[in-house]
Amino acid sequence: MTPKPEHGRGLDLTGKVALMTGGGTGIFVEHGARVYITGRREEVLKKVAADVNGPKSSPDEGGEIVPLQMDVTSKESIRNAVHFVNRTDGKLDVLVNNAGILNDTTTSAYLLFISNKSAPEHFPI
């Protein structure tokens, strides 16, 4: 059996700030980054953050996930989210466009296009 690759081994993101569209699973957190996960459903984002962050014995113990409600199909929502990150942390070092919509309707096809093609162009970084 082939061993699973260790992506990011030795990667140090301590003090870095990342924004990830479409939620997250802790990527970059294990390397010390503060990661804003975004999505439309705030309750889902809060649960993911609580699950990944868990109890910490000190604030310096690794990175953290911060839930941030945002709709990638809305320029205003994206603008507000980026401004919030900049006001809170003063910078944004990493941007991961990971959001997607998977339904089989005409409206869904449009939203998929907006999400994957147009949304990255809306980030005023």
* CATH number of the domain to which 113 belongs: 3.40.50.720
The pLDDT assigned to 61 comes to 66
Q: Specify the amino acid at residue 123.
A: F
CA neighbor of 92 nearest in space, from 114, 123, 69: 123
pTM of structure: 0.71
The pLDDT assigned to 5 comes to 45
- Residues with Cβ within 8 Å of 56's Cβ and at least 6 positions away in sequence, in order, are 62, 64
Residue 1 lies in a domain: no
How many domains, the chain? 1
Residue 1 has pLDDT above 70, yes or no: no
Question: Which tens digits make up the pLDDT trace of 6-59?
Answer: 556 678 889 999 988 876 677 888 888 999 999 989 999 999 999 888 886 555
Residue 64 lies in a domain: yes
Q: Which domain holds residue 33?
A: 17-122
Question: Which tens digits make up the pLDDT trace of 58-107?
Answer: 556 678 999 999 998 899 999 999 999 999 999 999 998 877 655 556 77
The pLDDT assigned to 118 comes to 64
The pLDDT assigned to 7 comes to 56
